[in-house]
Amino acid sequence: MVLGTPEILVIILLIILLIFGPKKIPQLAKAIGKAVREYRKGLHEEKPKKKKKLKG
């Protein structure tokens, strides 16, 4: 029996649900979203600084 991508994703989601419980998953998703947002914000802030160093 070969498992495809959808089956593997369902298994992973079920394991996460069992480990953290249904009440904790929204909090985890919110924290991950905030971390990704901060990471992207940091990337955009670094680009202009590098350009200024190259010009000067």
The per-residue DSSP string of 26-53 comes to HHHHHHHHHHHHHHHHHHHHHHHHHHHH
**What is the percent of the chain where pLDDT is above 70?**
80
pLDDT of residue 2: 83
Residues 3 and 12: beta-carbon distance below 8 Å: no
pLDDT averaged over the chain? 84
Mean local confidence (pLDDT), 30-56: 77
Token couple for 35: 């971390």
How far is it, in rounded angstroms, from Cα 24 to Cα 47? 36
Please tell me the predicted confidence (pLDDT) of residue 54: 58
Q: Which of 56 and 31 is assigned the larger pLDDT?
A: 31
3 vs 51, more confident: 3
- Measured CA to CA, the distance from residue 29 to residue 43 in angstroms comes to 21
